[in-house]
Amino acid sequence: MKLIRLAILIGIVVTVLLTIAVYPSLPPVFASHWNASGMADGSMEKISGLIIIPLIMIACVALFAVLPRIDPLRNNYEKFRNYYEGFVLVFVLYLLAIQVLMILWNLGYPLSINVTFPILFGILFVYIGFLLEHAEQNWFVGIRTPWTLSSAAVWKKTHERGGKLFKYAGIVSFLGAFAGSYAIWFMLVPVLIVAVYTVVYSYVAYQNELKGM
């Protein structure tokens, strides 16, 4: 865990130092949004465009550090602590990669958003799958429905199923790298389907559990 936490800290420091280092070289108008065709269609002032990712990163890492401390089921975090902190590291690296892509684009090296983003999203989804498979009952992390929070058995079944499906969603997202302007659908549609399915699945599993009592 210490190595993971050190890696998280290094990821934050690298992001901040990189942002500071490239600031003088960037144009005053910073491309910050891209459409489905992979073309920049939104911009903001350089300082605003550059600091948004580091601020989000620092805020999220701080939040992830606090959640296990305030959760009424905080003791359960120890059962999947490595996967939880591993997710924080993957999330930091994910944001660092996005920051690098944005910087390169604004420096005149426009890497294809429709190729890189599906891969980044896919990696994130696959790791979320591993996290879900190992997550124990808690109030902040996982598929938190009234039925998974009411039954440890339903929580376990739902997260085992959801973990596998998130991995599949990640694989579908990878395929989006070959889909051109349709890449966004490969990233969003599978995750939305999995999210809806797992909610319904948890309800059905809970009803089946009640019938078996």
- With tokens 């395929």, the residue in question is 175
Can you give the residue range of the structural domain that contains 49?
1-111
pLDDT tens-digit readout, 64-118: 999 999 999 999 999 999 999 999 999 999 999 999 999 999 998 888 889 999 9
**Which of 69, 87, 111 is the C-terminal boundary of a domain?**
111
Q: Could you tell me if 2 and 104 lie in one domain?
A: yes
Q: Could you tell me if 100 and 121 lie in one domain?
A: no
What pTM, to 2 d.p., does this model score?
A: 0.92
**CA dist., res. 161 & res. 166, Å (int):** 9
Q: Could you tell me if 196 and 105 lie in one domain?
A: no
pLDDT tens-digit readout, 114-173: 999 999 999 999 999 999 999 999 999 999 999 999 999 999 999 999 999 999 999 999
